[in-house]
Amino acid sequence: MSSSTDTVLSAAEREDIRTRFLAVDTSNVADVLDVMGWPDQGLAAEFMPYPATAGRLAGWAYTIRGQMTPYPLGGDADKMAACQGLSPGEVSVWSGDGDGICYFGELIAIGMKERGSTGALVDGGIRDVRWLGHHGFPVYARYRTPVQSIGRWKVNAWQVPVFLRGATVERVRIEPGDFILADEDGALAIPAAIVPKVLAESEALTATEIRIREELSNGLTLAQALERYGHV
């Protein structure tokens, strides 16, 4: 179970951390989490970038939960209220039992971006993929579908702990304020209490890998690199 950090970070500190995470790979972060005793923070392999060129996703978790609930057409007021709470640097994290339908599309994404949100992580479906790419709003989701949520799936809570499908466990618990990182290799959730330490260790590992690549390109053999640096 994750917990909030003991020291409240300022907006500038949060943005500095978010920006620095954009320079490290999820593979290195996952290795650091293993060493620190957090081996089950990877999300399921189905989470993919939409569009494929969406780029990296990094930000503080703002959680939204919903469920299949038949209701008349006309909109989901709770979904709109939930999205109004997003702040700069946050990633909306969507959970629920809405298999087969999308949780949001272009227009809601525009509203989230206007509030400073840096993207979305969706344990479900999205649509308007081409337009999400046009707006430069990175989304990682399990699938895409043209079928809307209105009349079928309804938001029932936000800024509460949620559970997303995991890579090594059935579900990964994500709390508001945890950190979300996703790239070509997949997606991770980093508990808030360990975010600064994970970042520092991941940056150090990244620096080591850069040195290894440079030395390999200058003639160092793989065997020599392993002897010098050990497993990385």
Which residue ranges are tagged as binding site for substrate? 105-108, 127
CB hemisphere CA count around 67 (13 angstroms): 5
Q: Which amino acid is at 172?
A: V
Neighbours of 19 (CB within 10 A): 11
Determine the Cα–Cα distance for residues 139 and 105; give it in Å rounded to an integer: 10
Burial 146-159 (b: 16+ CB within 10 A, else e): eebbbebbbbebbe
Burial class (CB in 10 A: 0-12, 13-18, 19+), 70: exposed
Q: Indicate the Cα dihedral angle 42, 47, 52, 53, nearest 10°.
A: -40
Determine the Cα–Cα distance for residues 230 and 89; give it in Å rounded to an integer: 36
Known binding-site residues for Mg(2+) equal 128
Known binding-site residues equal 105-108, 127-128
Residue 118 near residue 59 (C-beta atoms within 8 A): yes
In sequence order, the 6+-apart residues with CB closer than 8 A to the CB of 20 are 199, 203
Structure tokens at 194: 């360990």
Q: What is the largest CA-CA distance in the chain?
A: 67
